[in-house]
Amino acid sequence: MLSPARAAAFDMLLRVERQGAYASELLHSERYQKLSLADHGLCTELVMGVLRWRSALDAAIEHIVSQRLEKLDREVLIALRLGAYQLGWLERVPARAAIYESVELVKQARKRSAAGFVNASLRRLAAEPATLRPHAPADDSAHSLSAAYAHPQWLVERWVEQFGAEAAARICAYDQQVPVTAIRLRPPGTEQELRQAGIELSPGAFLADARRLPKGDVTRTAAFREGRVVVQDEASQLVAALVGRGQRLLDCCAAPGGKAAILADRNPDAKIVAAELHPQRARLLRRLVTAGNVQVIAADAVQLPVSGEFDRALADVPCSGTGTLARNPEIKWCLQPEDLADLHARQFAIARAAVGRLAPGGRLVYSTCSLEREENRAVIEELMATVSGIRLLDCRSELQAMQKRGELVSQDLDSITGDGFLRTLPGVHPCDGFFAAILEKS
């Protein structure tokens, strides 16, 4: 009988390829919640492992099968990747189990004619394990880093040029690991409750009310179910904290709602408008952000159907997500260089519209979870060149004010700031990669 974990992993990987779905969202969707704890853990390992190491798996498979992988049916290739990942990375899984289950997957997918091919190919891989896992980089070139850490070479080349070879290597290495879970505590007493539930906690790297989880599943606690604990990367929390306090706030691209919830917690008496373009995501946002002072609307941030001006705004714009590849590894296989120009245009339009909704003296925090210049500095430079009456504030000054208030525990501001911007890099910092800039309207 086919194991539930492998069947679910196969289905998820097929949906990622065909529908452009995000694996992290699929893993937490209702469709797969019936999996046992052990099966869900194995499914997560298989899905994320295959996506992280896809190019290395494909190189090994192509070497064995001696044909272009594009010629294989998608179901056959995914079954081969799953089998190869288990053979090369999961020591506790017997080779016979990995091979047998992959063969059963193609049969279940109505590709019976390929069963013998999958069986023979995986047996050859099992006999040549050295062909599976990539070797350490031979040097610090983009080519070596790309091969060793299973990243598209064009992306690594950009990082080497922008951040240097050492930082690029650290980014790539971080992307291939399971990132530590970070949470935001809401009521202070929640920490003791989590510890009593067996959750191991350590201090946050940046924020006083953040914690890191070396061990334990916080999503299975009452505190999480009741919204008293929120799973959220620390860099994401830091960006929301930069928005500060005001009487009327705007979150331009608010789903899934983590930053909107921070704005509401930090501004309980303010009126907050949280906009989301897609109605389905807006409905999810409303369920997750329950504060009564937050008005959720389904609308395009460029043409918001609300009147009045705002004294604080957040434009955490849709982006490539290259700062989150440890959590969303499928991004690196679908993103293309030409996509960055299209993203820039959309990001600039949202930021310009947000600036136009500010009251005099109002501030906009522009942010992305991207590492790419087109989506970050280039957007701010274009705004400064084309929109009058705005000035760039130094993020460092706001971070120093947060230090004085006891909100920011990190003392190393030099590492995360430069040229007035906030910048975190995966592997260089213990979090996702984020960029943020603060603009003030005169």
CATH number of the domain enclosing 109: 1.10.940.10
Is the model's pLDDT at 213 over the cut of 80?
yes
Residue 57 maps to a domain: yes
Side-chain-side CA neighbours of residue 10 (13 Å) = 26
- Does one domain contain both 437 and 308? yes
238-292: pLDDT as tens digits = 999 999 999 999 999 999 999 999 999 999 999 999 999 999 999 989 988 989 9
Confidence at residue 162, expressed as pLDDT on a 0 to 100 scale: 97
Q: Which range scores top for mean pLDDT: 54-68, 218-232, 341-355?
A: 341-355
Across the chain, mean pLDDT equals 95
Confidence at residue 288, expressed as pLDDT on a 0 to 100 scale: 87
CATH number at residue 274: 3.40.50.150
Confidence of residue 131 (pLDDT cuts 50, 70, 90): confident
Spatial separation of the C-alpha atoms in residues 95 and 82, rounded to whole Å: 12
384-428: pLDDT as tens digits = 999 999 999 999 999 999 999 999 999 899 999 999 999 999 999
Confidence of residue 346 (pLDDT cuts 50, 70, 90): very high
- Does one domain contain both 343 and 437? yes
Spatial separation of the C-alpha atoms in residues 64 and 121, rounded to whole Å: 6
Confidence of residue 220 (pLDDT cuts 50, 70, 90): confident
Residue 133 maps to a domain: no
- Does one domain contain both 308 and 427? yes
- Does one domain contain both 354 and 268? yes
Q: Kindly state the average pLDDT of the residues 78-96.
A: 96
Is the model's pLDDT at 55 over the cut of 80?
yes
Could you say which DSSP state residue 408 is in? B
Residue 62 maps to a domain: yes
Number of compact structural domains in the chain: 4
- Does one domain contain both 208 and 193? yes
CATH number at residue 203: 3.30.70.1170
Neighbours of 296 (CB within 10 A): 23
Confidence at residue 1, expressed as pLDDT on a 0 to 100 scale: 75
Neighbours of 135 (CB within 10 A): 9
Residue 295 maps to a domain: yes
Pairing between β-strand 181-185 and β-strand 435-441 as defined by DSSP bridges: unpaired
Q: Taking Cα atoms as reference points, which of 323, 322, 383 lies closest to residue 350?
A: 383
22-40: pLDDT as tens digits = 999 999 888 888 899 899 9
- Does one domain contain both 400 and 270? yes
Confidence at residue 253, expressed as pLDDT on a 0 to 100 scale: 96
Q: Are 416 and 398 in contact (CB under 8 A)?
A: no
- Does one domain contain both 156 and 220? no
Burial of 440 (0-12, 13-18, 19+ CB in 10 A): middle
Structural domain including 155 reads: 142-175
Residue 134 maps to a domain: no
Is the model's pLDDT at 217 over the cut of 90?
no
Residue 136 maps to a domain: no
The two three-digit tokens of residue 139, written as one number: 């040097």
- Does one domain contain both 198 and 245? no
Spatial separation of the C-alpha atoms in residues 405 and 408, rounded to whole Å: 8
- Does one domain contain both 352 and 366? yes
Residue 434 maps to a domain: yes
- Does one domain contain both 213 and 349? no
- Does one domain contain both 282 and 416? yes
Is the model's pLDDT at 128 over the cut of 90?
no
- Does one domain contain both 169 and 192? no
153-191: pLDDT as tens digits = 999 999 999 999 999 999 999 999 999 999 999 876 799
The two three-digit tokens of residue 243, written as one number: 């928005």
Confidence at residue 130, expressed as pLDDT on a 0 to 100 scale: 81
Confidence at residue 308, expressed as pLDDT on a 0 to 100 scale: 93
Residue 137 maps to a domain: no
Helices within 140-212 (DSSP H only):
142-149, 153-163, 165-175, 190-196
Q: Kindly state the average pLDDT of the residues 426-432.
A: 97
Confidence at residue 234, expressed as pLDDT on a 0 to 100 scale: 97
